[in-house]
Structure 1
Amino acid sequence: MRKGIHPDYQEVVFMDSATGAKFVAGSTLKPEETIEFEGKTYPLVRVEISSDSHPFYTGKQKFAQADGRIEKFNKKYGISSKN
């Protein structure tokens, strides 16, 4: 690798603002804020959503109800749903 063209890679703590969950990961971000985590001081990056609060990962995902739309379309155009 050429020197001087790559950003510094460091361990940072990502904190979910919604749940307060924290995890350490590598990043090239350089936040101003720091936090004490597991006995070490790390730079802190606050995120609005993570796997700890995202509906897909928490199992609280809502699915759109498509049945009503299909039935409405079929009724509008006189299509029978029987095969």
Structure 2
Amino acid sequence: MKKGIHPDYHQVVFQDSSTGFKFLSGSTKTSDETIEWEDGNTYPLIRVEISSDSHPFYTGKQKFTQADGAVDRFNKKYGFKNND
């Protein structure tokens, strides 16, 4: 590999915004936010919207938050009728 062209690979903590689940992993991402991890060291904190803790594929259930009824509201607003 050529020197000086690859980003620095280091340990960071990822936190799921919806569940609060945190995990330590290697990444090239950086952050101004930091967090103290279980080992007593301080690592950059990266907030993510979805992780294995909240994704339906891993949890076996689907969570609806703000999308509930969005299709019905759209159809009502623009006059589409449900043809069941």
Q: In the TM superposition, what are the counterparts of 1:31-70 in structure 2 within 5 Å? A: 31-38=31-38, 39-61=40-62
User: How many aligned positions are there?
Assistant: 62
Give the aligned residue type for 2:61: K
RMSD, aligned α-carbons: 1.3
In the TM superposition, residue 61 of structure 1 has moved relative to its aligned partner by 3.9
Question: Residue 14 of structure 2: SS of its match in structure 1?
Answer: strand
**What TM-score, normalized by structure 1, do the two folds share?**
0.70
Cα deviation digits, residues 32-66 of structure 1 (max 9, x gap): 1100011110000000000000111111049xxxx
**What TM-score, normalized by structure 2, do the two folds share?**
0.69
The aligned counterpart of 2:69 is none
Q: In the TM superposition, what are the counterparts of 1:1-83 in structure 2 within 5 Å? A: 1-38=1-38, 39-61=40-62
Which segments of 5 or more consecutive residues in structure 2 lack a partner in the other structure? 64-84
